[in-house]
A = this chain, B = another copy of it.
């Protein structure tokens, strides 16, 4: 199945939903034009359609293989990665003074969607490298930056995040990996890390592992964790590669999906490590990096949704079966003409476009936060991250499942290829923090840290859009009504959670995932509402009529099919805990 980057919709989002004008008013980005961004994304789209999209099936069938401590990937991955590096795609959003292209995150997020839409297994490698680059930029010493940044940003080396251990998943305080001082400023890292994405491979010359570990005399729990650079090959003073470090890939996992992405068990045997930043602040640095990674995983949700949608759409246009229910044609027609297939496809598309709009808007906030340091902006950006991660990935399960359904029996046959999107997507609500972790982050941190002020500002911005839509045409008014209902449900649920949290934390935390889904849905629906306002104006001006009419209809569909889920989630939040804690309910 082919893949085409959804450039037109991406560029619409970039122009109208990402706060493009504010982002490109930032000193770092004042030279960037829409044309530059569009040209870069178009070139990337072409490369991904041609070179990366075919990897999806190849990698799914071949899997990453483990042999004698090495990970073997199909030759096609080597060729594609070499081109990816040559074209400089890894460097897209990284600073020019380290060799990067220096584009904003709004462009980076769009690029990440394209790469991961083509193949999530492939996309994971640059995604993790991006995370390592961010961590080094924020917390590395000048020497570390000089040593590692340039080859990472070029893609010549790749990066990993080493957090999880068998007993320490969501609960990183239980990490046991030791970092013992060698006496020369370096540390001997010893322990076992699991679930390390692209933890071993030879697409690149070197791998820069960022490893969470604890010094012998540090505090117990999360406050005793520090972050270390552990390169696969030691780096000499001149930048050339030296000895192999003592970190070994013991095995890789046989997984439900993203099977070409090697998920490694890494054994560190007194491997040489270099402390990043200050001791015992490792978790803090990791969380900075994780915010970026979580955003990117949310984008993967949009990406795999788009892929599944394109696949289902093509099948529905091609497969002929049964006469139409309205009797308009005497013969069997392509199934896209049957109302339920139309509903399925539009639902897939609405969730995909809604997720994309949310991610693009969040990316704009992240750019503004990152470059201004303004607290209110930063809080809003950080409020959005669990929404992008939680909502877009949970929705990707629905979208990819509908993609299978649209294919009927053919969907269940692996050869068809659509089951792969269903399998690949299933990791998204799990890694980089499960949906429950995102939901706890949303309520426990992003809402509570300022007593709900950011959440209320978010709600007020939604209200502004509702007000504008209410002045519009018939479709805009339908959207306004849907948004107003969902916003009221959000406001009530927020108030309920805030008033119950202290007295009865179990009751409140029983509702965090429904609250995340309600808030994510409202946030995406809000962006679709903003898009509808633009589309309405453009239609009135006679610009790009087909696209704008579709956008308006999709926003209306979103309001009438997806936003209406908010009622259910609000009910779950506000009364759902009662039965959960009935006396004597045994599990």
Residues of A within 8 A of B (CB): 164, 167, 169-171, 173-174, 194-195, 253-257, 313, 316-317, 320-322, 325-327, 332, 336, 338-343, 345-346, 349, 397, 401, 404-405, 408-409, 411-415, 419, 422-423, 426-427, 429-431, 434-436, 439-440, 475, 478, 505-507, 509-510, 512-513, 545-546, 549-550, 552-554, 556-557, 559-561, 564-565, 567-568, 571-572, 575-580, 582-587
Residues A414 and B571 in contact in the complex (CB < 8 Å), given A549-B584, A557-B580, A584-B550: no
- A411→B409 CA distance, assembly (Å): 25
Q: Which residues of B contact A317 (CB under 8 A)?
A: 587
5 cross-chain pairs, A with B, having the tightest CB-CB distances, nearest first? A557-B579, A556-B579, A553-B582, A340-B436, A339-B510
Residues A430 and B413 in contact in the complex (CB < 8 Å), given A557-B580, A568-B568: no
Chain A interface mostly: helix
Nearest-Cβ distance from residue A13 to partner chain B, whole angstroms: 19
Nearest-Cβ distance from residue A314 to partner chain B, whole angstroms: 11
- Give which listed residue, B332, B345, B426, contacts A401 with CB less than 8 A: B426
Q: Which residues of B contact A583 (CB under 8 A)?
A: 549
Nearest-Cβ distance from residue A45 to partner chain B, whole angstroms: 20
Nearest-Cβ distance from residue A350 to partner chain B, whole angstroms: 9
- A33→B316 CA distance, assembly (Å): 51
10 A/B residue pairs, CB under 8 Å, sorted by A: A256-B423, A340-B439, A340-B440, A340-B513, A349-B587, A404-B426, A419-B426, A549-B585, A559-B579, A560-B576
Q: Which residues of B contact A256 (CB under 8 A)?
A: 404, 412-414, 419, 422-423
- Is the beta-carbon distance between B579 and A553 smaller than 8 angstroms? yes
- Is the beta-carbon distance between A435 and B506 smaller than 8 angstroms? no
Nearest-Cβ distance from residue A342 to partner chain B, whole angstroms: 6
- Is the beta-carbon distance between A582 and B567 smaller than 8 angstroms? no
- Is the beta-carbon distance between A429 and B405 smaller than 8 angstroms? yes
Nearest-Cβ distance from residue A412 to partner chain B, whole angstroms: 5
- A254→B585 CA distance, assembly (Å): 43
- Is the beta-carbon distance between B255 and A412 smaller than 8 angstroms? yes
Identify 9 new A-B residue pairs, CB closer than 8 A, beyond the known A325-B509, A340-B509, A342-B580: A255-B413, A256-B413, A313-B587, A326-B505, A405-B429, A408-B430, A412-B430, A561-B572, A567-B568
- Is the beta-carbon distance between B572 and A346 smaller than 8 angstroms? no
- Is the beta-carbon distance between A434 and B414 smaller than 8 angstroms? no
Nearest-Cβ distance from residue A522 to partner chain B, whole angstroms: 14
- Is the beta-carbon distance between B564 and A571 smaller than 8 angstroms? yes
- A538→B360 CA distance, assembly (Å): 56
- A336→B169 CA distance, assembly (Å): 15
- Is the beta-carbon distance between B325 and A506 smaller than 8 angstroms? yes
- A342→B579 CA distance, assembly (Å): 11
A444: nearest chain-B partner, CB-CB: B325
A478: nearest chain-B partner, CB-CB: B578
- Give which listed residue, B332, B411, B576, contacts A171 with CB less than 8 A: B332
- A478→B412 CA distance, assembly (Å): 40
- Is the beta-carbon distance between A164 and B195 smaller than 8 angstroms? no
Nearest-Cβ distance from residue A534 to partner chain B, whole angstroms: 17
Q: Which residues of B contact A579 (CB under 8 A)?
A: 346, 475, 478, 553-554, 556-557, 559-561
- Is the beta-carbon distance between B575 and A346 smaller than 8 angstroms? no
- A291→B97 CA distance, assembly (Å): 69
- A560→B577 CA distance, assembly (Å): 9
Q: Which residues of B contact A171 (CB under 8 A)?
A: 321-322, 332
- Is the beta-carbon distance between B505 and A325 smaller than 8 angstroms? yes
- A553→B409 CA distance, assembly (Å): 38
Q: Which residues of B contact A586 (CB under 8 A)?
A: 546, 550
- Is the beta-carbon distance between B436 and A341 smaller than 8 angstroms? yes
- A321→B175 CA distance, assembly (Å): 11
- Give which listed residue, B430, B554, B560, B587, contacts A575 with CB less than 8 A: B560
- A553→B578 CA distance, assembly (Å): 9
Nearest-Cβ distance from residue A488 to partner chain B, whole angstroms: 14
